[in-house]
Each structure stands twice: as C-alpha cells, then as structure tokens.
Amino acid sequence: MSRRTRLAVVPARRIMIGRALALCAVAVVLAIVLVLLGLPLGMVCGLVLKSTFGTVFGLENLALYMTPLLMTGAAVWLALRAGLWNIGAEGQFLAGATAAAAVGLFAPLPAPVALPVAMLASLVAGGAWSAVPAAGRAWLGVSEIITTLLLNFIATYLVYYLVTGPWADHVTDAQVSSQRMMLALPSVYSVVHWGGPVALALVVALGALLKRSRFGYELSLCGSNPDSARYAGIRVAPRLFTALVASGALAGLGGMMEVLGTVHRLQGGLAHGYGYLGIVVALLARQSAYALIPAAFLMAVILNTGIVLQTLQVSASSVLAITGLLVFAVAVSDELAAYVRLETKS
Amino acid sequence: MSLSFSKGLTRRRLLAAAGCAGLPLRAGAATRFAPIAEEDLLVGFGHTSPVNDGGWTQMHDKAIRALKDHFPRMRSLYVESIPYSADATRIFRQFVAEGAQMVISTSDYGDFIKDVANQAPDVGFLECDGNNVTGNLGWYYITHWYASYVIGIAAARLSRNGRLGYIASFPTTSVIASANATLLGARSVNPEATMRVISINSWFDPQAAASAGAALIDSGCDFLCGIMDDPGYLRVAQERGVWAAMWNTDMRQFGPDAYVSSVMLDFVAYYRQTIEARIAGRWRPAGTFLTLGHGVDRDAWGARVPLAIQREADAARDRMLAGWSPFTGPIKDSKGQVRVPAGQTMTDMEIFHWNWQVEGVSGLV
C-alpha cells in the first residue's frame, strides 16, 4: 500500500528533476506547435541554436538580454525574501533610466564623474519610485502588489511625455526618444558593456549579504513569519520598507545600465517588459540569489529564440506564450516535487 | 554647434572601427557591394506593423511580393511589428546573422538600424524615412507633402467650418510635414482653416485612432485626416457623417461616403530598381526621394467629392508636376513668426526635416 504526503521542505534535487521534466514538456509542446505551423523542426532548432550560441551576435544578444533581467530579477527576488511582491520593477527600471538619462543629457561632467553620478541617480530614482508603495505597505498595510503595479503606468507615460515633449529629439527625427547620449558605459567586448559583469557581481553580493548578514536573516524572518519576527523583537515595518526600497533601487540601476549601455537614448519602449520578466526570473530562482543567474540566462535564451522565430514569421507574441507556459510548467512541477510516496508495510 | 561636432566625432570613430578612413571608404564600397547572383541574394525586410495592416506596411509588402515576379530566385525574409526598442537592433542583427546581404527597414529605426549597419559594413542597409547615409546605410522616402497639399485644398472646400482634425502618431518631422502641408493646402483656398492634432503614440492602433477621431469630431472638426497605417478613423468619419482623407492606399471600402482621397504609395518600381542595382553591383548608399507621380500621389477622388472641387485640387497637382512648389514663403509658425521669408521656397530636404508647426496647426509640437 502507498500513500502520498506533502513535504514542508523540498530537497533541491527533487525540484531540479521536476524542472528538467517541465522544461522537456515545454519543449515538446513547442515542437508540436512548430510542426502544426508547418515549420521544419530540424531547421528551426538548428537555426535557433546556431543563432543563439554559434554566432558572436547571438552571444552578445544573450549578454545584453541577461543584464537587465539579472537586475530586475534581483529586485523582485529581494522583495520576495521579505514576503513582498514588487510588481513595479518595470516602473522603477524606467525611473532609474530617466534619472541616468537626465545626467547623460544635461550634466556637463566628464565620464569618470558622470557615470557614478548617473549610477547614484538611478539608484535613488528607482528607490524613490518604490518608496511610496513601500511606506504604504510597511506602516499602513496597503497592498504593494497594487501600488507598485500602478506606478508602472505612471512611469511609462512620464517617459513618453519626456521623449515626445521636453526631451524629444528634434535633431535626427528619432521616434519617441531623446537625443543620443555621449555618456555610455564602457564596453567589455563589442556592444557588450560593463553592466553585465556588474549585475553578476551584484547578484553574488546580494546572495552573500542575505545569507550571512543579520539583516538578511531578519528579512527572511519578516518574510516567512512576521508574527514570530515581531515576537523576536525585530521591528518589521522598517525592514519591509528597506527591502522594497532597495528592490526599487536595484531595478533603477538596471534601467541605468540599459539606457547608458544598450539603448543610449531614453525612449518609449526602453523597459521592454524586463520588470515583469524579472518576476519570472525571481520565481525560477526560488530561495537562491545565485540561481538568478541561470534563470536570467534561460529567459535570455527564450527571448533570443523569439527573435529567431520572428524571422520565420512566428509572431513576437509567441515569446510571451512560451514564457507563460514555462512558468506554468515550473509552478506545477515545483508543487508536484513536494509530494512523496510513503511506503507502508502491510 | 557642439552637437554637430560630437556627431562628426562619432562618425569618425565609426569609420575607424570599420577599418577605413575618409577616402578609402568609397573604394571599399565598390568591392563591398560587388555583383551577386540572384539565387545567392538574401534580403531582410523589417516592418513596423503587421503586413496585413491595410496600409503602410501592406503597401511595402505588396511591392516586396512583386519582387518575386522579377527575381524569382532571390530569397527574402521579413519580420513584422518590430518595436522601437533594442529588439529592433536584435532583429536587424539576426538578418545579418542569417546571411542577408541587404537589409531594408520600411520605417524609421534610427540608431537601432544604424548601429547594426556599423557592425556589418559588408551588408547594404536601407531605411525608409531614415536620416543617415554612411558607407553602407542609405534612406528613401516619399515626398508625400505634395499629395497632402492637394488633399488639403479639397479638405478646405469640403469642410463647412474650416476645422480639420489630424490623427498623428508621434510629433516627428515627417508627421509635422504631413500636417503642415495639408493645412497649407487648405489655407490656400480658405485662409481661416485650422487644424487640431491628436498624437496617439503609435502608427498602428486602430482603437486609439478611432477614439482620437471621435474626440476631434466632438470638438467640432468636420474633416479628419492623419497619418495612420490603418483605416480606423475612416470608419468613425463614416458613422458620424464627416469627411476623411487617408494615407497609404485606397481605403474607400471602409467608409465609402466619408472617403475623400488618400496619400497613395507605390514602392514597386523603387524596390525593383534597388534589387536590380544590388545584383548588378551598382547599389550605393544614398538618400532617395520618391516624388509625386513616381511612388506617391493622391488616390482617385471619393465618390461624393464634387467634380468642381476635384478639378480645383487637381489643378494644383498639375502645377506641381510641372515643377511648381507651394511651399513658398511667407510661411509663419504657430506662434505667428515668419519662418520662411517671402519668395523663398523650401527644399524637399527642409520639408522632410520640418520641426515646427505652421500657423493654424495646434497640438502637434
């Protein structure tokens, strides 16, 4: 006879096996859809693999996709540690990008000074963009899910206002964008800029900080059980506030990297959904900050696959569908991995 | 001043990056775009809207399909609905990665295409509505302002109150040129005519275009025009019983009573010549205007446009075809300041880079 029971703590190995199966399931569904669309499967796979991993352009694309995903992923992940859902990384990303662009466009500073200033400005702007929802959540109990989400729209339209109004480029007629900034993050290789290595280092540092510091411990205690945190004498509200503001600052820094590293103009489509994809990255990473790296990598591969698929006339929306399917499959597999069979002797 | 200086700097740096400097670039271009067999040619086309948008992109797609008749062995790729974001760069790079020798974007992607062109000096790039000519990047555009001027004359005659409504995408120079030209045409027969503009932040958003059209009618406009890829606001004009002039193609089926005319596009000949030149090794990056009667024109007039009005507007068109330009001073901006002095005529390049709204236009810049 056998019974099933749900484990409170699931071993990482079970999660990994479950997720591998989930990825396979997504691949199979994708293959079926491609065949139904009449595309030769071998050719498509070959082209995706070659374009993503077999060319310099592909590898550069992966690096450029990973950078903002790491930052927004880390932002959402940090808030999740404190039990908070930061749905507003998109808006904080834009706020940070706007602040960095303001420095890039208007501050007459040499690059070695301007870059740290832009970095600081983006951290402050991203943090400020999440400060009101953070305060509302910490001291008034207002759901941060709603407030952070709604601020995304305000940030988006603020950027549209700036780039079609006061900051619009009337010189080269570039659409919905500011002038190109001369201030740029230095390049590592070709179009790949230093934002990537910095993002990687930040993620590693974040992991170490939360694992080893007292702040990290208190934060996860606030997140997992606020009542016992209070009982232990931790002042919960300031911890929650700090976590959400720091989360916004990380997303804001991501915006600075994108605008000064990749795009070079403040423009309407800048955030590109990275704030929302950061939620996916954070969910995939679960408790581990280090796992943000493979999660962001996977997401970057999916996004780059979307570019390749578009040249085969598969709609750009297919990327969203693949992402949704992946999150769904992973959620199911994570849940199933928690169930074990109890062998009982009859 | 400082801006042009910094621009020069970039260009120099880019030339250095491409491994050539100044003069050798031209010599390089000759070998770079050497003749190529038709079956070896791969051309990538990047569109801003879906190929079945019923307007701008559809007209490009139609011309691209017509290429198949002339060059049956040429291969082509296309991607539709490319966003104005770093993803545009990725898509153009992907064309290059898949082996395209020619990449043509049917809308203005600015830096997003220029950056890719600079990294792929052996690939020829063309950008519709573009601004840059480099060693391997050129642009092409239609001088749509002449057709818009002709339609503007009809607009002023058809409108009862002289209030025109314009549905714009973004306040970019080609949109400003379109709106200005239409109102200048209108003012040539009704100096009291005015134009109110709403920008909807998209080239293809039929829902937003329809809402903007309805809002303009509510504010008193009885003639709608604009620069949309789709016939969205024509349907509104039909329902509300006002006139509408469109862009891109014949859209009368979506509002037969409201339809006045359209800025009609035809890229068939230009694309054919471009591909011919690339195959023969004659293609060189340049800026090209497709002129009135050669790629752009007004559409056949709508069924309800009175014959006298058609004749009056067409008389201006005939004069333009004979070389006359209506874009002659004095032309004032919306603040009342004379920007083009009396007797001076704007060149097509000046009109293409028009960045101020003329007197009577409001809400655009």
How confident is the model over A332-342, as pLDDT tens digits?
A: 998 898 888 87
Considering only CB atoms, which chain A residues are within 8 Å of B95? 311
Taking an 8 Å cut-off on Cβ atoms, the answer to whether B110 and A55 are in contact is no
The interface predicted TM-score (ipTM) is 0.84
Considering only CB atoms, which chain A residues are within 8 Å of B96? 57
User: A224: pLDDT confidence band, cut at 50, 70 and 90?
Assistant: confident
Give pLDDT, residue B6.
Answer: 36
What whole-number distance in Å separates Cα of residue B115 and Cα of residue A7?
53
All structural domains of chain B: 37-142 (3.40.50.2300), 144-263+297-362 (3.40.50.2300)
What whole-number distance in Å separates Cα of residue B348 and Cα of residue B296?
14
What whole-number distance in Å separates Cα of residue B246 and Cα of residue B257?
13
CA distance A202 to chain B (A): 24
What are the residues facing B288 on neighbouring strands? B140
A174 touches B at CB < 8 Å: yes
Report the pLDDT averaged over residues A60-70: 96
Question: Percent of chain A, pLDDT > 90?
Answer: 66
CA distance A18 to chain B (A): 32
Taking an 8 Å cut-off on Cβ atoms, the answer to whether B90 and A61 are in contact is yes
Report which residue type is found at A326: L
Q: Which residue of A has its CA nearest to B93?
A: A57
The closest CB to that of A267, out of B6, B84, B90, belongs to: B84
Q: Which residue has the higher pLDDT, A174 or B314?
A: B314
Asked if residue A118 lies in contact with residue A100, where contact means CB atoms within 8 angstroms, the answer is yes
Considering only CB atoms, which chain A residues are within 8 Å of B110? 172-175, 177
Report the pLDDT averaged over residues A171-184: 82
CA distance A267 to chain B (A): 8
Considering only CB atoms, which chain B residues are within 8 Å of A170? 173, 355
Name residues of chain B where pLDDT drops below 50.
1-28
Considering only CB atoms, which chain A residues are within 8 Å of B83? 269, 272, 316
Taking an 8 Å cut-off on Cβ atoms, the answer to whether B170 and A191 are in contact is no
Taking an 8 Å cut-off on Cβ atoms, the answer to whether B97 and A55 are in contact is yes
A248 touches B at CB < 8 Å: no
Q: Which residue of B has its CA nearest to A267?
A: B85
Q: Residue A172 pLDDT > 70, yes or no? A: no
Asked if residue B328 lies in contact with residue B149, where contact means CB atoms within 8 angstroms, the answer is no
Query: Beta B243-248 vs B259-265: how paired, if at all?
Result: parallel
Considering only CB atoms, which chain B residues are within 8 Å of A310? 79, 91, 94
Report the pLDDT averaged over residues A196-217: 94
A111 touches B at CB < 8 Å: no
Give pLDDT, residue A341.
Answer: 82
Give pLDDT, residue A346.
Answer: 53
What whole-number distance in Å separates Cα of residue B32 and Cα of residue A16?
51
The closest CB to that of B87, out of A58, A272, A313, belongs to: A272
- With residue B244 as reference, give the H or E element that holds it: strand B243-248
CA distance B15 to chain A (A): 15
What whole-number distance in Å separates Cα of residue B83 and Cα of residue A272?
9
Asked if residue B288 lies in contact with residue B297, where contact means CB atoms within 8 angstroms, the answer is no
SS3 state of residue A202: helix
Taking an 8 Å cut-off on Cβ atoms, the answer to whether A272 and B95 are in contact is no
DSSP state of A60: H
**Which pair of structure tokens corresponds to residue B296?**
């752009």
SS3 state of residue B41: coil
What whole-number distance in Å separates Cα of residue A11 and Cα of residue B280?
65
Give pLDDT, residue B342.
Answer: 95
CA neighbor of B274 nearest in space, from B14, B92, B76? B76
The closest CB to that of A170, out of B78, B115, B355, belongs to: B355
Asked if residue B43 lies in contact with residue B104, where contact means CB atoms within 8 angstroms, the answer is yes
User: A120: pLDDT confidence band, cut at 50, 70 and 90?
Assistant: very high
Asked if residue B201 lies in contact with residue A160, where contact means CB atoms within 8 angstroms, the answer is yes
Asked if residue A179 lies in contact with residue A172, where contact means CB atoms within 8 angstroms, the answer is yes
What whole-number distance in Å separates Cα of residue A258 and Cα of residue A94?
10
CA distance B228 to chain A (A): 15
The closest CB to that of B97, out of A57, A170, A171, belongs to: A57
In A82-179, alpha helices (H): 89-106, 111-135, 144-164
Taking an 8 Å cut-off on Cβ atoms, the answer to whether A269 and B3 are in contact is no
CB atoms within 10 A of CB A154: 14
3-state helix, strand, coil in chain B (%, to 5): 40, 20, 35
A92 touches B at CB < 8 Å: no
The torsion angles phi and psi of B129, rounded to 5 degrees, stand at: 70, 20
**pLDDT, mean over chain A:** 92
What whole-number distance in Å separates Cα of residue B46 and Cα of residue B52?
14
Taking the complete model, does pTM exceed 0.90, yes or no? no
CA neighbor of A68 nearest in space, from A277, A305, A329, A285? A277
Taking an 8 Å cut-off on Cβ atoms, the answer to whether B201 and A61 are in contact is no
